[in-house]
Structure 1
Amino acid sequence: MDYQVDLTIDAKGKKCPMPVLLTSKGIKQIEPGQIMVVEATDGGSRSDIPSWAKDTGNELLEATSEEGFFRYVIRKG
């Protein structure tokens, strides 16, 4: 799907826990209802990012894997 992305977090090449920490920092930069994309290469992000979204009341709209990295689309709650 296409979303209007308000912020993109590049966590490619970062190891756990950096993708989640960067995601947490990034979500504070946008307003409720806005969309953030997180791109990561760490395989741990496949469980960490969805768990973080659920625990923090943000909505994981999409989680995909493409071209050797993982992409998460999150709407701030």
Structure 2
Amino acid sequence: MNYQIDVTIDAKGQKCPMPVLLASRAARKLESGQILLVEATDGGSRTDIPSWAKDTGNELLERTSEDGVYRYIIRKK
């Protein structure tokens, strides 16, 4: 699907827990309903980002991976 991305977080090259911390900081600045894209290369993000989204009540709309880059599209609660 195509989403209107409001903020993109480039966490490529960052190790756990940085992708989640960067996503969390960015999400705090978003309005409800805005969309966050997180791009990461850390394999741990495959479980960490979806868990963070669920735990914080945010909605994981989509997750994909291509060429070792994991992409997560999250809607702020």
What is the TM-score with the length of structure 1 in the denominator? 0.98
Gaps of 5+ in 2: none
CA RMSD of aligned residues (A): 0.5
Q: Which runs of 5+ in 1 are unaligned?
A: none
Q: Distance in 2 between matches of 1:6 and 1:29?
A: 11
| Correspondences of 1:1-12 after superposition (within 5 Å) | 1-12=1-12
Aligned length: 77
Stretches of 4+ moved more than 4 A in 1? none
Deviation sequence 1:13-65 (CA, Å, 0-9, x none): 00000000001001012100000000000000000000000000000000100
How do residues 1-77 of structure 1 correspond to structure 2 at under 5 angstroms? 1-77=1-77
Paired amino acid for 2:9: I
